[in-house]
Amino acid sequence: MTTHANELAVDVRGLRKQYGDVTAVDGIDLEIRPGEVFGLLGPNGAGKSTTVEILQGNRSRDAGEVSVLGSDPAAGTRAWRSRVGIVWQDESAPAELTVGETVRHFARYYPRPRDPEEVIGLVGLQAKAGSRIKALSGGQRRRLDVALGVIGGPDLLLLDEPTTGYDPAARRQFWELIRLLADEGTTILLTTHYLEEAEALADRLAVVARGRVVATGEPAALRERYGTDATVEWTERDGTTRTERTDTPTRTVAELMHRFDSEIPGLRVSRPTLEDVYLRLTGQEDAR
């Protein structure tokens, strides 16, 4: 069973969740298309993990409408659950088993699993297939968690900060895995604190702050919409470095060219990055 072409893989309207006096999710709306890599960004406590838990059917909601692969997660059947893979922040594998034993064991839970040896190779654990999980490094355990998330061949993969603890080389290898899964048609929801990762992988992003979605769009569109100021940097004749933030950088450069009447020493024009936009949208711009 697959999601119909014109049906959203994830459709969330007015999602709310409260813990006592704390509102974790305060009316979130999300639309994720089939086959899309969708990034969910936000600071700690913004409501990202709670939202992912509700989408997976692991946590109840207080209000709102949620459809995941055409079903309400709160009433998800065993067949529905087999179509949703998830990688939590916390490790889930038994420490005494080997990598190979664990992946092969989890494969038995699914009606149409991927080949365990293929999955072990995809996450870069071939050399550790015979090692017990308790002997793995933190980064290797995260790779195993990813293997367990994809072993069932899910239609939707939920990734909650999956590359925490990865070194840069392992993170790049993980990116290649996500691109491969996306090319195969898997819908992917990714939460991450790595802005470079979100920009490299996500077709679209939603930025969450204080339990609400404050912006949604393609990474380039968000930079264009919310990152209006550019920074122009140059070196004065006395050797001092000057910078100016402006929404008309071309005009600033033209004025400098006229003043210097030649090449502008040390000229550099930088546009706002996704990180700049993210910090502005989440009210953390002054924390840099």
- Comparing CA positions, the residue from 37, 80, 34, 7 lying closest to residue 188 is 37
Q: Kindly tell me if the per-residue pLDDT of 5 is higher than 70.
A: no
Cβ(160)–Cβ(87) below 8 Å: yes
Ranges for all domains in the chain classified under CATH 3.40.50.300: 10-216
Report the pLDDT value the prediction gives residue 31, as an integer from 0 to 100: 96
Residues 6+ apart with CB under 8 A from 279: 285, 287, 288
Across the range 33-61, mean pLDDT stands at 94
User: Quick check: 61 pLDDT over 90?
Assistant: yes
With 70 as the cut, is the pLDDT of residue 288 above it? Answer: no
- 231: amino acid identity, one letter: T
CB 267 within 8 A of CB 244: no
Q: Which residue has the tokens 């000057």?
A: 242
**List of residues 6+ apart from 255 with CB closer than 8 A:** none
- Cβ proximity of 222 and 230 under 8 Å: no
pLDDT digits (tens, 9 = 90+) for 135-166: 998 878 888 988 999 999 999 999 988 887 77
* CATH number, span 10-216: 3.40.50.300
pLDDT in tens, 160-195: 888 877 788 888 888 888 998 999 999 999 998 888
Assign 130 to helix, strand or coil. Answer: coil
| Choice among 93-97, 102-106, 186-190 with the minimum mean pLDDT | 93-97
pTM of the model: 0.81
Please report which confidence band the pLDDT of residue 2 belongs to, taking 50, 70 and 90 as the band edges: very low
pLDDT confidence bin for 217, thresholds 50/70/90: very high
pLDDT at 148: 93
First-to-last alpha carbon distance for the chain, in angstroms, is 47
pLDDT of 4 = 44
User: Residue 164, Cβ neighbours under 10 Å: how many?
Assistant: 14
Backbone angles phi, psi at 176, to 5 degrees: -65, -35
What six digits make up the tokens of 268?
């550099």
